[in-house]
Structure 1
């Protein structure tokens, strides 16, 4: 009887956790879709979009360059050493830039957006919840999702696309320094390998990834802030949860998109 009771409680607890998890996932998707639904009404969120875009660009541009430069240099150093052992140093530039374009750029941009910009979004929305600003907006027949979440979704996604381009340029510059100046590879060989391996679809998929990753980071940040506990401790916990959940969703979606892309467009070289 005791074992049966413990088993029943365990099943009940697991079922409750699963229902709670699925409920949170559903609410997250509802906020994201509701935010995108009023995209056409630009007059209500245009100024907020401009402010959020400027804020995100200001707090993420320098960190992403500081991450990309040594990252590209490190990849070039490691790949260059392996390529020199195989007698294919001229292919180092292609490997570095292709890796930056296909995987590193959208992931790095999303992590910076979620870590620097998303944490600020979560704290801002949590502070509004504590001060009852969200409830006050609802009492005045103003939908807080349309007024606050919509501009943040579009600002985060657009800035993420721009950051991906900045990651590619910064990483390629860092790889150029190590590969050309320290490993005696000619500049023409460094860039020729990248041009021969890259495809137009690689760039398009990278921009799509960056846009979706930025959208996910903003949606998670807004959801966690709008549903946090009404206390400073609750806001701090919501910030931590938002960063972790955004990272997990970004890595999972990146795996799915990359798998589908390589099946649909297999490498030609």
Structure 2
């Protein structure tokens, strides 16, 4: 009987350890702030979600990472940032931007049958309305060098547009499976147009793709070559996830991008 009890206890301990190992990590609700922000720039009503660091204090100053498509990607990014913060001993405020307006209108730099090309207006909302609130209310460091932006797919297209046309706003760019094919690779043309002024700056740039994303690859390679050739003051990394496509490469590339981001802040 005693032997059976011992084995039962051992089995329970093993199950408890397995459950603990498999339990999905989350962000404590006490560190999440949510609010809506109606833009005077474009009239959109944006749901904003903020994840504060584990050791957050109003007396601190923090880097910020702005995450597009927050409904899809905020939780994943916030949890990964929490893990990276522990290993790097650096903490970041994660700001998720929801869909307050038409997503494809906001993320596209020029009008087409896909979106109306309101990216310039959307970045103006971020720069003049959202960022000041975050930096005032949550004590984020008010400097370009302390701001990063992450986006996937059309969000990645918008990240590239921020780099080329609005380089003053962010220093770190995490650009995943970007739709750089849009409008005959307008982002590559804009990179050339704004190259001389942008190459004088510094920052970080991560480019991620899935191996199976054939449509995305040519402009991805072209943009990567431009970065490597003309932007020596930017820390750079790119990664093509083996055997992955547009959606199933996202988790892998978010993890890679955030490790790179934390390595360079």
User: TM-score normalised to the size of structure 2?
Assistant: 0.28
Which structure has greater strand proportion? 2
Which structure has greater helix proportion? 1
Q: Whose Rg is larger?
A: 1
Q: RCO higher in 1 or 2 (8 Å CA, sep ≥ 6)?
A: 1
